[in-house]
């Protein structure tokens, strides 16, 4: 494992720990307003990162936002991976009409920009985490499908798999002993890239007020709310920007290079 991957995993571990501990560790309710402490600097009145335009503690809101962002992204990527890998192996194994139909469906999804698909679904049913989850999963499964289908076609033609078939071993054995060991590391790396895409998409949708709505403590919503006050309190809008950048950077470092996935 490269030093950059170790650094990325360390960043993800720290983020996950902070998300699990949650806003309770700050001593403030992320939804509680204090109009006597609006946009106070970090360290004032016990607010580690200061407060926003409504006097809400920024540290508490960042940690609450980390819970929402990481949980929703992980749920969407996990679902996309299960669907994509399963359909990819199915397409490679059966071939013929099934393979052609699945490839056609995946190409159709790729023809529509991923963020636009999520945006359309979020606009139809606003303020719904379920809609965001479904839109992200429908966007991300294609890459898992393409990777697993391509690699599975090669592995299924290998002498080891041919010998297993001649011995009459069940398909589950072939998948667990031959396909998954080869696919697992690439799938994990692709999942990290997918999670980075999901985190960015959630923040983008929150910033343009599509998807989750205020007062939900989501990073994109926080940036949108604090943008008019950036001259008075640059530290306030800088907090969610830094959290988003750190999360995406950690995920991309943990994923490794694109060439490692394609190898």
Neighbouring CB atoms inside 10 A of 73's CB total 25
Q: Say yes or no to pLDDT of 21 above 70.
A: yes
- Which pLDDT band holds residue 17 (cuts at 50, 70, 90)? very high
More confident position, 27 or 263:
27
State percent of the chain over pLDDT 90: 59
Q: Does the model's pTM come out above 0.85?
A: yes
pLDDT of residue 191: 95
Q: Which two tokens stand for residue 240?
A: 């969610």
Least confident of 20-29, 116-125, 208-217: 116-125
| Mean pLDDT, range 163-175, rounded to an integer | 83
Q: Please state the rounded mean pLDDT for residues 119-132.
A: 80
The chain-wide mean pLDDT, for the chain, equals 89
Model confidence band, residue 167 (pLDDT cutoffs 50, 70, 90) = confident
Over residues 188-243, the pLDDT tens digits come to 999 999 999 999 999 988 898 887 888 889 999 999 999 999 999 999 999 999 99
Mean pLDDT of the 1-15 span:
90
pLDDT at 4 over 60: yes
First to last CA, the chain: 16
**What is the DSSP track for the chain?**
--HHHHHHHHHHHHHHHHHHH-GGGGTS-TT---TTSTTPPTTGGG-TT-B-TTS-BHHHHHHHHHHHHHHHHHHHHHHHHHHHHHHHHHHHHH-HHHHHHHHHHHHHHHHS-HHHHHHHHHHHS-S-HHHHHHHHHHHHHHHHHHHHHHHHHHHHTSHHHHHHHHTT--HHHHIIIIIHHHHHHHHHHHHHHHHHHHHHHHHHHHHTT-SS-TTS--HHHHHHHHGGGTTT-HHHHHHHHHHHHHHHHHHHHHH--HHHHH-
Domain boundaries, the chain: 3-26+53-262
Question: What digits encode the pLDDT tens for the residues 85-99?
Answer: 999 999 999 988 999
- The answer on pLDDT for 184 being more than 70 is yes
Q: Which option is the CATH number for 3-26+53-262: 2.60.120.10, 3.30.10.20, 1.10.3720.10, 1.10.645.10? A: 1.10.3720.10
Query: pLDDT by residue (tens digit) across 130-159?
Result: 888 888 998 899 999 999 999 999 998 888
Residues 104-116 have a mean pLDDT of: 84
- Range with lowest mean pLDDT among 48-52, 120-124, 196-200, 202-206: 120-124
The candidate with the shortest Cα–Cα distance to 123, out of 225, 201, 209, is: 209
Region 165-175 average pLDDT: 82
pLDDT above 80: residue 262: no
**Residue labelled with tokens 């790396």:** 189
């Amino acid at each position: 494992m490269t030093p950059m991957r170790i650094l990325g995993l360390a960043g993800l571990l720290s983020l996950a720990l902070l998300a699990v501990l949650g806003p309770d560790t700050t001593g403030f309710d992320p939804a509680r307003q204090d109009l006597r402490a609006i946009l106070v600097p970090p360290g004032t009145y016990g607010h580690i990162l200061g407060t926003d335009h409504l006097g809400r503690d920024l540290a508490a809101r960042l940690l609450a936002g980390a819970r929402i962002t990481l949980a929703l992204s992980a749920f969407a990527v996990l679902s996309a991976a299960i669907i994509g890998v399963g359909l990819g192996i199915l397409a490679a194994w059966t071939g013929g009409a099934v393979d052609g139909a699945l490839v056609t469906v995946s190409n159709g999804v790729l023809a529509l920009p991923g963020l636009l698909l999520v945006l359309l679904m979020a606009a139809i049913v606003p303020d719904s985490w379920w809609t965001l989850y479904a839109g992200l999963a429908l966007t991300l499964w294609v890459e898992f499908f393409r990777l697993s289908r391509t690699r599975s076609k090669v592995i299924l033609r290998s002498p080891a798999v041919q010998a297993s078939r001649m011995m009459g071993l069940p398909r589950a054995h072939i998948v667990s002993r031959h396909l998954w060991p080869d696919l697992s590391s690439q799938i994990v790396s692709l999942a990290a890239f997918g999670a980075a895409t999901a985190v960015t998409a959630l923040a983008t949708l929150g910033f343009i007020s599509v998807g989750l709505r205020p007062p939900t403590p989501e990073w994109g919503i926080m940036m949108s709310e604090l943008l008019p006050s950036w001259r008075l309190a640059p530290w306030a809008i800088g907090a969610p920007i830094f959290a988003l950048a750190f999360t995406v950077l950690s995920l991309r470092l943990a994923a490794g290079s694109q060439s490692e996935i394609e190898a």
